[in-house]
Structure formats: structure tokens, C-alpha cells
Structure 1
Amino acid sequence: FFRTPSTAMATALALLGTLAALIDGAVATPGLGRTPPMGWMSWQVFRCQVDCSQTPNACINERLYMQMTDRMAEDGYVQAGYNTISIDDCWEQSSRDSQGRLQPNATRFPSGMAALGKYMHAKGVKFGIYSDEGTKTCGGYPGSLGFETVDAQSFAAWGVDYFKLDGCWNNQAGYAVGYPRMGQALNASGRAIFYSCSWPAYLGDDETAKPFSKMVDAGCNSWRNWADIQPTWASLLSIIDHWGDYSAVLQKTAGPGHWHDPDMLLIGVPGITMAEQEAQMALWSVVAAPLVMGNDLRAIPSESKRLLLNREVIAVDQDPLGRMGGRVSPKGEHEVWKRDLAGCAVAVALLNKGAEDAHVVLPLKEATGLAEAHARDLIKQQDLGPIKGMPQFLVKSHGVVFLRLTPNGGRCQY
């Protein structure tokens, strides 16, 4: 049965209110998104499930987000850098109030969004929310088109820290006006809110034709580029191939404050093997992608959890140099992906897209510029010692070997 959590929330807020007040008092500051965001988002697993009587533990309601906040705070995710819980579509009432403001569904969010945000803040978690730059959201709820200012003011009043703006029920001409208008409204709201735009995901496949510089000007801190990820190897591989094909193009506009987003992490989601999960975690880190989990944190396998909490892999994604990497070998069954890191180090992912385990060759000098280096396996967290020439590594089917290479002598190759 569906249990309204208002009493539990009120008790928790009374105990945690002091810390909430400290975090909730934040004001707008420059420098959002200096490294890619990290957190959790509900869409991949929970979609638009609003029938809480039938699925009380998998329903878009405040209880779900409180439970995920608890898991983030208590299971080591916040300490590892995953600091944002994002509500996706289907949280709203079916219409705005008499003053034109968005309202949360009163049955599923009886305590209101400000209270939910305070609950998250009290646990050291940032509060993320969703809307759409169209007449409706993708799930059919009221969109923000024409209401950008009032919605930005509502989000600021609720203590929102992260905002995803989708692009259903609009068109290319409308995106070019609406996304900058929302960016201006967020900047004027008085609160620092990370702005995640879905603008380029609605502009087709050709990344060379997308106006990324205008997205930067619009204030977008990250943007979804392409197709939604699904919990299959075929979907994951299609995104990997797309990012590889357009690596050189995407690298030109990625950097601190504005990141390309290949969509949520499938780590811990049924249907994806452990090798495939390792491949996604490594390649997302190479391309400096947001690390936004799309799993159920209440029921995550221990091996997947260890991967998500691997500080050495996370450090590649969050590297302060802020330089996006990409594929540096020809497209094929075996590939080499590389990212330059601060301190003259290099991250290399050796990818095996084939159906069988295989040895993958790393042409060290050609791929990285290094004649020799000290290698560390980041997933296994093991030192491999010095390498040079054309070393080979055994890579699982659909998996990676993910290396951090430190040049002997410490001389940068970039």
C-alpha cells in the first residue's frame, strides 16, 4: 500500500534542520560545473510510474526520493562525489495554480518540493528537478514554454540546485529562443542552479551541425547530445560509437562549465553485464561525461557498487584539467580511447567490442605520445609497472582495460 511519508519527513527535518538551513541559504555564485556533475536520476528505472497503489516501491513520489537520498548519504556515494538527486518527469500536478506556477502532485508529494529539497540538503545532497522547454513535458505535464521566469523563481524558492530542461513539444526555432530565455531566468533567480539542457538531443545525429557555442552562451552547463540510453549492450554500443565518431568535434566545446552528456550510467541496472558496466564507466570518464546513475540504489549488486565508488576511475572523470578525451584509434572491434590528465598523466581505455575475450594492443607512442610509462589498472586498482612499445592486454568481451599512465621523468606530452 502507499504510505504517505509526511510524518516521517517532518521528524527527519526537525532533526536535520540546522544543516539544511546552512545549505539552503546558498546564493548565486559563478563557476558552476567546473567538473562534470555526479549524482542519481530517476528516469532510467522508474520512468513515469505514478500509480502508487500498484507499485508503492517504484512510484514517482517523495518517499522514493527520500529513500534514494538516504542511500546516497549513508552508502558512501556522497563521499565519492555523487552529490545530486534529480527528480525527472511526472512530478507535477496536471495544471498550474491560479498564479501560473507549477505545483507538485499533492498526493504523491504531500510535503511539497521545498520540504523535499530541505530533506536532501540536510543529508548533504543537492536537489535536482525537471521541466521541458515546450507546451508539455514528455510525460504530458505542464511545460515551461512561456513560463521560464516564474518557473525559475519557483525552483529557486524550493532550493533547487540542478535543473534538467527537456525538449518535447517544441521545435528547432523554439529551442534557440527558449533555452537562452530559461538560462537568463535562472541567472536572475538569485540562486546558483546547474543548467542541464536537452537542446542538441533534438537536433538529429550530425554533431557538426549543432550550435554548441550558442548553448554555452545560453548558460547551459551540460547538454544531452543524442539518443536516450536503454539497458542493452546494443544501445550502449551505439552511443559509444557515436561519441567515437565525433570525438574531435565534441572536444572543441567541452570543458569546465559546459560538458557533453551521453546519458545516464547503467551500472547496477539489469541487462548489462559487469564487463559492459566497466566499459561504460571507463569511457564516460574518458569523455568527461556527467556520472549520473540510473539505477535503484536500494537494490544494487555489490560488484556494481564497488565500480561506482572506485575513486581512481572517478578521478579521471573529475580531472581538474577538464580536457575531454576520445577515440584515438580507427573504429573497429578493438579500440583505444585516451584522455590527457593533470600532472602529465594519461588515461587510456582499451575497448573490446567483440563477442570473445581478446588481446588488445596499445601502440603506446602513437596513441599517447609517450615512449614509455608506468601503468596502473584503475578498475583492478593494481600497479602494472613500466610499459613501452606495443604492449598487449587481455580484455573481456564488451569490456575494457582502463589504465592510468604516468610518463617516466614526468614530462608532459601536451
Structure 2
Amino acid sequence: MEVSLGNNDISIEILSRLPTKSLVGLKCVSKELNSLVLERSFAKRQLKKGEPVCGFFFQERYQWCDDDIKSISYIPVKVKGTELQRSVFNFLPECVVLLAVCNGLICCRSCFSSPQPVIYVCNPLNREWVILQWPEPDKKSSLGLAFDPVNDPIDKSTNFKVVRAYQTVNEAEDSYFSFDLYSSKTGTWSRSVEMCQCHHKVIKNKGIFVEGALFWLTDGDKVLMFDIEKQLSWLVTVPTPLVQFDSIPEMCIGESKGKLHYVLISDDGLHVWALEDSFDFIWALEYSVALDEMERENSNLLCNIRKRVAARVYHDMDPWIDPLAFKDGLLLMKVASKIYLYNVETRKLDQLCTVSMLGPNATFSPIVLPYTMSLVPLGRP
């Protein structure tokens, strides 16, 4: 039975207010609904509305070898009845390693068991993807995805950029980051003349896209930044020097309310800063809570955490609390053997799953990406 939409303008107004996940289910109701949801104008309206974080992708990594782990877990943010999903990327032609996320699109690469590794940019919601040929495939490069539907509307096509940041050492033994750029408009790669001297390694939440720039967290007191349009790169100093702590702190970066955020957990507590000015390195402290206070507010889940965090004085010790990813005020973190979601506004902590549910190698520097659903079309080849 076909369902008529009647007044199309009213129908669009009503449907555009529904969560994106609900719209995917409605596509099966009628051909008319399916056509409407697939229209670029409707997807554009959905992007303007804004969509909350619906979950986090989690991929393990081996600690002692360079092989890729093919399995990917999806952790929904819903607390009651949370069930891990492991088949989200089964629509792709091969197993992949996750690299970056931006406005509902995912950038990933072939697992290196593949004879001809390529890069995929895909939308898991509508199961569409495009393939990018990769002239110099390697595992050490960090790739970032830039997709800005406001400055580059999706009316006729979905345009994005992929930036490859890779580290080289010159004859004087100085270490530099260089950058290659892929544009979906031209379908080609280009090499930027920009180089950024940096002796630190890129870690965690790689390639966070904020206000026209990509940011990579390093293992030093710096965040690597690359302005895509200006093709300029520099190192942004973090809000507080890491050497001032007696124990080993843990940190991550993320995006919230259109700004880069820096999250740090130490025996002094949980602190969240927003980057106000990347040129003058101005950070604004948006949230701060002592670990003892966090424990009092969540006594059913936490126990003696400040003492345990302070006990980590060597880098080869596993962190008791590890911030994994931050998006729109939600912090995914590992505490001992459990994965929690912490809302910095409500100060509420919820358990989502255990580390063992994610796999035997889930504790060593996993790839964790926050995911927001979108209807953005890509056009499967």
C-alpha cells in the first residue's frame, strides 16, 4: 500500500524534524517517502538541523605488531540495553581500518592484507561509498577528512577533502610533517609546499576537523594544525604543560559547539578546554571537576579513582582512566575494565560496556571515532 504525502511542503517540514535514524526506516513505507528522503535538498535540511552523537566506532590495535585488526565495534550511546554492533561496515567490498569521521562521513583504508590498498569515504547510514586511489599507501601516515556542508553545500554534489599528514626526517635529523591533499572535485592528489617541524608523534583521535582546519593530537605539549584553504600548518600549545604533573596524565581532543576541545585527566581532576584562538594559543577552561567529586556523584560506578590515577608514574603502565573520544559534551572513557560515557553538563556517568566485550586487544591505543548520522549522499560506484 502506497502512502501519499499530500502537501509536500508540510510533509518535508514534519519529516525534517525526525531523527535521521527514523527517516531511514520510513524509506521502506512508500516510494514517495523513499524519493523524498534521498533528495539532496532534504539531506541538506537535515544537516542544518544538527544531529546528536549516536555512538562511537571502536577498532582494536595490536601492541607488538603492525598487522591490522579487521573487526570494528559500534557502541551506541543509549545506556539501557546497549548492544555492540559489529557489521556496520559489511557493505564495503573489503575489511577496513578506520581513519577519520566528519559530519556523518567516514574515511577508512583497506587492511594491509589487501594487495592494492585504497581509501574509502563512505556513509554507513545509506551504505554508499567512493574509492580514492592511494599513490603511496602506508600505515604511519595520519589521514584527516574535511567535509563542510555549510561552505560547500551538497545541492549538486558532495565535495570533501582528505589530508594525509606524514612525518619525515631530513639530513640534519630534524623531523617535519608534510601534507598531501585529495579533492573530490578534481579527483586528484596534490602535495602542499607547507612543512611543519615537529619531533612528536601523532596519537589518538586523529584528524579532528574544526572551522576549516584539521587538528592532530601529539604525544608532546602540542596539537598539530593544518589550515586546508590557506595550506598553512603550525603547532598549537596545549593549555597546561604535561611536565607539571607528578603522575602521567591522559588526554584527547574533540569537537563541540564548533570548537576544538582538549580533554585532560590527571590526579588533579578532569579538565576540558575550548580553543578560542589558534594563533595566540588561547584556551578557555569550560569544565573542571576533581576526581573525588566525580566519584561522590557516581559512587555506584567509581571507587578510589584519584589514588589509582596518581599511582601511574611510568608510561608503560596502563592508565586507570583513559579519555578515548570527545564530541558535543560527551566523553567516552575507559575506567579500569569498563567503558563509560560521561556528560560534562549533567555530570552523569553511565556504563556502556566492558573492555572485554570489545576484544582482547582493546586496551592498547584503540581507534575511537564519535559518529553522528547523516543522509549525505555519496553515490556508490
Higher relative contact order (CA 8 A, sep 6+): 2
State the TM-score, normalizing by the size of structure 2: 0.30
Task: From the two aligned structures, give the one with the greater strand fraction.
Answer: 2
State the TM-score, normalizing by the size of structure 1: 0.29
